Amino acid sequence: MFTTTTTFIVYICAMLVIGIYAARATNSLNDYVLGGRSLGKIITGLSAGASDMSGWLLMGLPGALFVSGISQAWIAIGLTIGQWCNWKFVAARLRSFTHNASDALTLPDYFAARFLDRYRITSTVAALVILIFFVVYCASGMVSGARLFEQTFSLDYQNALLIGAASTILYVCIGGFLAVSWTDAVQASLMIFALVLTPIIIIMDVGSISEANRLVAEKGPDMANFLKGTTFIGMISLAGWGLGYMGQPHILVRFMAASTVRGMGGARRISISWMIFCLLGAICVGYYGVAFASKHPEITVDNPEQIFIIVTQTLFSPWIAGILLSAILAAVMSTLSCQLLVSSTTLTQDFYSRVIRKNASQTELIWVGRGMLLIVAAIAYIIALDPHSGILRLVSYAWAGFGAAFGPTVLLSVFWRKMTLKGAIMGMVVGATVVIIWEIGGFFGLYSLVPGFIFSTIAIIVVSYITQNENASVESLFDSLEKKFWIEVKER
């Protein structure tokens, strides 16, 4: 216990040091929100990956594989394809469009600039969507952190939740975007190390891959069935997770912060390679965790989402276990930190600086951003107080909300010149509304992101065609942004 505690303390202190160092380079709201658009391809790639893969990667996904078998890997396939498409088709264009459209710092800011929204209706709608769904998303991160501290240090849930949340809030509040991005790179390295090493040690403990497969098969003949229990709708639902990438603000903001458009190809290769190794590792931990549990019947796995923690504590020395368990904390902190930051900057940039204090100084806006971060964190903390909160359930709801509300809007905004202001507004409203209604009704067993994305896209296209007569100036702006994008692509 002493060794693991020491490792955790050293890790958290290291993150705080990075936060303090980043604070010295944070002199304006642009620095606090986007790091001055200065991220290189390595930091951009790793940061985008780490901010995406939260505690879900080391807890939620292995837990799903542990219970249901390899069929749950459809989620990983859908996510990988979706993230690759996001990098390939959206990343560079969004970076260029946001920079050239009034140097937009947030997604709401970009929508208002892209569609020449004088009354900032798009930014208001987008900001509301971000706040509604990010509070839930932040709560899922806090639950992951609480489960880690609860299992590792035998704490009660409430104290574990407080420690896990405070660990992240402190360094984000101090250093802003640069602290989040730099720590993401460290955390991404730690996560891939843990997820590559742990499955190897599990198989060595069991004896061999064939023996591990035999023990898994003993639990159920369908554990290795890729189509186990899946219907056509079920497969669409799991693979449909990939649609959500194009609408996740905490990932899209990494594209916006990149130093150049031309560096996106290298960043994409780094990010996707990292993602594939991590997802394969998480799948193997959950799947072969069944073999581990079979070989060690004396160990009780009460909560499947804690299988990675249990394996690590059992098979590794205290020092190594402490480092590997820090990977969960890294996953939680990397995602929660950027979610809190995006939420706070949305409140600061799109409400405070636009409505309450239009002439606020840069120093004032930085401090207001920190205050807003604490408010969002407090609300998420209250939601996370329920000890029965399921990590995957919370993540899936927030992921669907963002994917449906913002995915079609972002995608079409960087490719379709005929998209109108009213089309963008209707797309966001329809996408978010469909997800909320679908989650309540649970229609056809279909993941809410899929119908939400489809209906949002239809709404944008239909309304845009209806309101084409109002769109001449918006189309002219799109042509200008498109021209600047291709110039940036060719620059060396």
Q: What is the pLDDT of residue 135?
A: 79
**Average pLDDT of span 27-56:** 67
Q: What is the pLDDT of residue 461?
A: 97
- Alpha-carbon distance 353 to 368, whole Å? 10
Q: What is the pLDDT of residue 226?
A: 81
Continuous H helices in 296-317: 307-315
131 versus 475: which is more confidently predicted?
Answer: 475
Cα angle 136, 140, 145; round to 5: 145
- Alpha-carbon distance 275 to 78, whole Å? 12
**Average pLDDT of span 79-105:** 90
Q: What is the pLDDT of residue 381?
A: 84
pLDDT in tens, 194-245: 888 999 999 999 989 999 999 998 888 888 888 776 777 877 887 788 888 8
**Average pLDDT of span 284-313:** 86
Cα angle 351, 342, 375; round to 5: 65
pLDDT band with cut points at 50, 70 and 90 for residue 3: confident
> Average pLDDT of the chain?
82
Q: Could you tell me which of 424, 426, 425 has the C-alpha nearest to residue 411?
A: 424
Of 331-335, 369-373, 397-401, 403-407, the range with the lowest mean pLDDT is 331-335
**Average pLDDT of span 261-271:** 86
Q: Is the confidence at residue 465, as pLDDT, over 90? A: yes
Q: Is 299 helix (H, G, I), strand (E, B) or coil?
A: coil
Q: Is 272 helix (H, G, I), strand (E, B) or coil?
A: helix
CA distances from 258 to 45, 98, 263, 284 (A): 9, 11, 8, 33
Most confident of 6-10, 254-258, 408-412: 408-412
- Alpha-carbon distance 44 to 251, whole Å? 10
Q: What is the pLDDT of residue 187?
A: 72
Q: Is the confidence at residue 492, as pLDDT, over 60? A: no
How many CA atoms lie less than 13 Å away from 325 in the CB half-sphere? 35
Query: Please, are residues 149 and 384 in contact by the beta-carbon 8 Å criterion?
Result: no
425 versus 143: which is more confidently predicted?
Answer: 425
- By the 10 Å C-beta count (0-12 exposed, 13-18 middle, 19+ buried), 46 is classed as buried
pLDDT band with cut points at 50, 70 and 90 for residue 181: low
- Tell me the DSSP string of 172-218: HHHHHHHHHHHHHHHHHHHHHHHHHHHHHHHHHHHS-HHHHHHHHHH
- Tell me the DSSP string of 327-386: HHHHHHHHHHHHHHHHHHHHHIIIIIIIII-TT--HHHHHHHHHHHHHHHHHHHHHHHT-
**Average pLDDT of span 18-29:** 62
Q: What is the pLDDT of residue 54?
A: 67
pLDDT band with cut points at 50, 70 and 90 for residue 392: low
Contacts of 300 (CB under 8 A, 6+ apart): none
CA distances from 187 to 248, 325, 327 (A): 20, 12, 7
- Give the position of tokens 């930085």: 366
| Domains of the chain by residue range | 2-389
- Alpha-carbon distance 334 to 278, whole Å? 15
- By the 10 Å C-beta count (0-12 exposed, 13-18 middle, 19+ buried), 216 is classed as buried
Continuous H helices in 53-156: 55, 61-68, 74-85, 92-100, 107-114, 121-153
Q: What is the pLDDT of residue 27?
A: 60
Q: What is the pLDDT of residue 291?
A: 92
Q: What is the pLDDT of residue 34?
A: 57
Tell me the two tokens of residue 273.
Answer: 């390679």
Fold (topology level) of 2-389: Sodium/glucose cotransporter (1.20.1730)
Q: Is the confidence at residue 410, as pLDDT, over 90? A: yes
Q: Is the confidence at residue 255, as pLDDT, over 90? A: no
Q: What is the pLDDT of residue 171?
A: 56
Q: Is the confidence at residue 485, as pLDDT, over 90? A: yes
